[in-house]
C-alpha cells in the first residue's frame, strides 16, 4: 500500500459530458485515459450521492444512490469496471457523521417516528428557553436548529441541513457498516471518512466554558477509536486490500498514530490539517496573513517524525476541495513550473501516501474572482457577511474571501484554453479565469504533469521512498524544508527551497557524490555546497 498514490477527483468539476454545466460520471469515463497516463493507483471521488447539494454533496440524502445530476448506477458500475481494467481502485467519500435533513431518516424522525428520532441529537432548550448548548456551527451561527414544531432542537456541527447522527445508538453504527458494505459489494476498496473524529460526542452535551471552543468537547474522544474498530470489523476490515483514510479535524499526533497503527485495526491513514493553518491569524481561518514558513516546516517535521516513530501513517497533501490552492499560498503562480514541482516533490518523496488533487498535476492556481457573485460556496457567503458584521470594509472582507474560499480549488478542471476551459459545452457551475495560462494542453502544464508522472514512478521503484524513515535535515537553514530517509542501504536526501531567492546548502559528505534522483533545476551540481534557486527541489540518492 505504501507505494500507492491517490488522485482526488471532484466530480462536479472534472468533466461535463452532457452540457449542463456540472461534471458527471460519464465525463470521468471519457477522461479515463488521462488518469491512466498519470499512473495513479486509486481515485477518491468526492460525494456524488443523492443530495440537495447545500454543501456540495456532503449533505447526503441517500447513501446508496447516485444523484441524477452526476449520472446513474449503471454509469458508476461502468466506471468502476473500466478503472479496474487499468488497476485503478475507487475510493468513496463516506459522510457518516451527519445526514442531510432531506434524508428519509431525518424526515421520518420529523414525522414523529421514535426509532429515527433516536438516530439524531435531539435536545430540549435550557430551562431559560435558550439553545441546548452554546456550541457554534463550523459554518457560522449556532450548532442547533429547531426540530420542526416539537419545541426540541437538533444538533448540526455544519450547515443546518446537515444533522449530526448519534453514534451511541447501535442502530446508527449498524447502518454505517451496511452502507460501507453496499459499496464493498460493488468492488469498492477505498473509503474516505468525512470528519470521522467528531463522531464521539458525549451523550450529555454541555456548554463550552466561556472563551473556549466547543470543538474540544467532542473531538478525538476515546470512544471514536472504539467505533472505528467496530466499523472496520463489520465492513472494510474484512478486505485485505482496503485503503481507508479518516478526515480528522483538529486531531492530535498521538491520536493520529493510534488511528493508523496497523495493530489497532482501524484506518490505513489520516488526513490532518495543522500544516494548512499556518496562514491563519490566531487559528482563525477567515483572516489575512502571509504564511509562516517556520511554523509550516516545524509542523511537517513534527508529524513526519512523530508518525514514523509511532508507526502511524499519514496522507500527504497540499490541496483538496476545502483548501485554496497551495501554489498561491506557499509559492508563486508566476513561477508556475518551479512552484508546482517544488510542492509536489516536497511531499511525494516523504513518508506517507501522497494525494494529488485534481488540477494540481497541471499547476492549477486560484481563480481571479472579482466579486462575491462569482462564489457559490455557502461557507464563503456566510464568512463574508460575518466579516462585514465584524466591521470590516467590503474591500477587506472580499480580500479575505478571495484568499481563503473553498471555491478556489473547486473551479473546473482546465482541459484547454477555451472560454469554459474545455470543461463543458454549457455554462459551468463555477467560473474559470486563468485557463489561458494553465490547462492540460499548455506547455508549462505538460512539464508539470511529466514531473508528477516521474514522482509516481519513483515511489514504485525505490523502497526508500515508500518505506523509509524520516529525519529532519537543515532546520537551521532559512527557507529550506529538508529531510533524509533511509531504508535497506538506500539513503535519500530531499531538499526543497521555499524562498523566492537562492539558498546555499552544505551537503553532508555521504551525499556529495550521490545520484540526482529528481529535480526541477537541471543544472544543479551537488558538491560540498549546493545552491538551490528559488522554489528549487532536488532529491539525492546514495546507495
Q: 419-458: which residues touch ligand NOJ (CB under 6 A)?
A: none
Judged by CB under 6 A, the residue of 70, 147, 154, 158 near ligand NOJ is: 158
Show the cell assigned to 89.
481502485
CB of 156 or CB of 351, closer to ligand NOJ: 156
Report phi then psi at 141, rounded to 5.
80, 175
Could you tell me how many residues of this chain bind ligand NOJ (CB under 6 A)? 9
Cα separation, 233 vs 244, in Å, equals: 13
Q: 240-259: which residues touch ligand NOJ (CB under 6 A)?
A: 247
Binding mask 183-222 for ligand NOJ (x = CB under 6 A): -----------xx---------------------------
Contact 537, 341 (CB under 8 A): yes
Show the cell assigned to 59.
449533505
Find the shortest distance in angstroms from Cβ 243 to ligand NOJ.
18
Find the shortest distance in angstroms from Cβ 151 to ligand NOJ.
27
Strand partners, 151: none
Contact 302, 314 (CB under 8 A): no
Find the shortest distance in angstroms from Cβ 342 to ligand NOJ.
25
Q: In the β-sheet with 480-487, what is the strand arrangement from edge to edge?
A: 471-473, 480-487, 490-497, 537-542, 515-519
Query: How many CA atoms within 13 Å lie on the side-chain side of 111?
Result: 9
Closest CA to 198 of 172, 243, 228, 231: 228
Asked if residue 58 binds ligand NOJ (CB under 6 A), the reply is: yes
CB of 413 or CB of 539, closer to ligand NOJ: 413
Length of the chain: 543
CB of 189 or CB of 321, closer to ligand NOJ: 321
Report phi then psi at 35, rounded to 5.
-65, -40
Show the cell assigned to 91.
475510493
Cα separation, 376 vs 374, in Å, equals: 7
Q: 26-55: which residues touch ligand NOJ (CB under 6 A)?
A: 55
Find the shortest distance in angstroms from Cβ 272 to ligand NOJ.
13
Catalytic residue among 247, 266, 279, 366: 247
Measured from each CB, the residue nearest to ligand NOJ is: 58
Cα separation, 200 vs 49, in Å, equals: 24
Judged by CB under 6 A, the residue of 9, 40, 88, 95 near ligand NOJ is: 95
Cα separation, 377 vs 354, in Å, equals: 27
Judged by CB under 6 A, the residue of 62, 175, 322, 500 near ligand NOJ is: 322
Contact 446, 334 (CB under 8 A): no
247 a catalytic residue: yes
Catalytic residue among 67, 194, 266, 360: 194
194 a catalytic residue: yes
CB of 58 or CB of 286, closer to ligand NOJ: 58
Find the shortest distance in angstroms from Cβ 194 to ligand NOJ.
5
CB of 320 or CB of 346, closer to ligand NOJ: 320
β-strands 353-357, 315-316 pairing: parallel
Asked if residue 14 binds ligand NOJ (CB under 6 A), the reply is: no
Residues at the site binding ligand NOJ, with contacts judged by CB under 6 A:
55, 58, 95, 158, 194-195, 247, 321-322
Query: Which residues are annotated as catalytic?
Result: 194, 247
Amino acid at each position: 500500500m505504501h507505494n500507492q498514490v491517490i488522485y482526488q477527483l471532484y466530480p462536479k468539476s472534472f468533466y461535463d459530458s452532457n452540457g449542463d454545466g456540472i461534471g458527471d460520471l460519464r465525463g470521468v469515463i471519457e477522461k479515463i485515459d488521462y488518469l491512466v497516463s498519470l499512473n495513479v493507483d486509486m481515485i477518491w471521488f468526492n460525494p456524488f450521492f443523492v443530495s440537495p447539494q447545500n454543501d456540495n454533496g456532503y449533505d447526503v440524502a441517500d447513501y446508496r444512490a447516485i444523484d441524477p445530476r452526476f449520472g446513474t448506477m449503471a454509469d458508476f458500475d461502468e466506471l468502476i469496471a473500466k478503472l479496474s481494467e487499468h488497476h485503478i481502485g475507487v475510493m468513496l467519500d463516506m459522510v457518516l457523521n451527519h445526514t442531510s435533513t432531506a434524508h428519509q431518516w431525518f424526515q421520518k424522525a420529523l414525522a414523529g417516528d421514535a426509532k429515527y428520532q433516536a438516530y439524531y441529537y435531539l435536545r430540549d432548550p435550557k430551562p431559560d428557553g435558550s439553545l441546548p448548548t452554546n456550541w457554534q456551527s463550523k459554518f457560522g451561527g449556532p450548532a442547533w436548529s429547531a426540530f420542526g414544531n416539537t419545541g426540541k432542537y437538533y444538533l448540526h456541527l455544519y450547515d443546518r441541513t446537515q444533522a449530526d447522527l448519534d453514534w451511541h445508538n447501535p442502530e446508527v453504527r449498524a447502518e454505517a457498516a451496511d452502507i460501507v458494505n453496499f459499496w464493498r459489494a460493488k468492488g469498492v476498496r477505498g473509503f474516505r471518512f468525512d470528519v470521522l473524529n467528531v463522531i464521539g460526542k458525549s451523550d450529555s452535551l454541555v456548554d463550552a466554558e466561556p472563551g473556549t471552543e466547543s470543538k474540544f468537547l467532542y473531538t478525538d474522544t476515546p470512544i471514536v477509536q472504539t467505533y472505528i474498530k467496530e466499523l472496520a470489523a463489520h465492513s472494510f476490515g474484512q478486505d485485505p486490500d482496503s485503503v481507508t483514510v479518516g478526515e480528522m479535524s483538529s486531531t492530535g499526533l498521538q491520536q493520529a498514530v493510534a488511528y493508523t497503527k496497523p495493530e489497532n485495526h482501524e484506518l490505513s491513514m489520516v488526513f490532518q490539517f495543522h500544516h494548512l493553518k499556518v496562514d491563519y491569524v490566531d487559528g482563525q481561518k477567515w483572516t489575512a496573513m502571509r504564511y509562516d514558513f517556520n511554523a509550516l516546516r516545524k509542523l511537517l517535521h513534527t508529524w513526519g517524525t512523530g508518525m514514523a516513530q509511532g508507526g502511524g501513517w499519514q496522507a500527504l497533501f497540499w490541496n483538496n476541495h476545502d483548501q485554496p490552492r497551495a501554489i498561491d499560498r506557499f509559492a508563486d503562480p508566476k513561477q508556475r513550473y518551479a512552484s508546482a514541482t517544488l510542492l509536489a516533490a516536497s511531499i511525494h518523496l516523504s513518508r506517507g501516501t501522497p494525494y494529488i488533487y485534481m488540477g494540481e498535476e497541471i499547476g492549477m492556481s486560484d481563480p481571479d474572482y472579482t466579486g462575491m457573485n462569482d462564489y457559490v460556496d455557502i461557507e464563503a457567503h456566510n464568512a463574508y457577511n460575518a466579516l462585514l458584521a465584524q466591521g470590516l470594509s467590503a474591500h477587506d472582507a472580499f480580500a479575505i474571501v478571495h484568499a481563503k474560499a473553498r471555491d478556489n480549488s473547486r473551479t473546473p478542471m482546465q482541459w484547454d484554453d477555451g472560454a469554459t476551459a474545455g470543461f463543458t459545452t454549457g455554462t459551468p457551475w463555477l467560473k474559470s479565469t486563468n485557463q489561458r495560462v494553465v490547462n492540460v494542453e499548455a506547455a508549462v502544464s505538460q512539464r508539470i504533469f511529466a514531473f508528477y508522472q516521474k514522482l509516481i514512478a519513483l515511489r514504485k521503484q525505490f523502497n526508500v521512498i515508500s518505506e523509509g524513515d524520516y529525519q529532519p535535515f537543515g532546520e537551521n537553514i532559512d527557507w529550506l524544508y529538508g529531510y533524509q530517509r533511509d531504508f535497506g542501504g538506500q539513503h535519500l536526501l530531499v531538499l526543497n527551497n521555499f524562498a523566492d531567492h537562492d539558498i546555499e546548502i552544505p551537503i553532508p559528505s555521504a551525499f556529495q557524490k550521490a545520484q540526482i534522483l529528481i529535480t526541477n533545476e537541471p543544472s544543479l551540481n551537488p558538491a560540498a555546497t549546493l545552491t538551490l534557486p528559488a522554489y528549487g527541489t532536488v532529491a539525492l540518492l546514495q546507495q
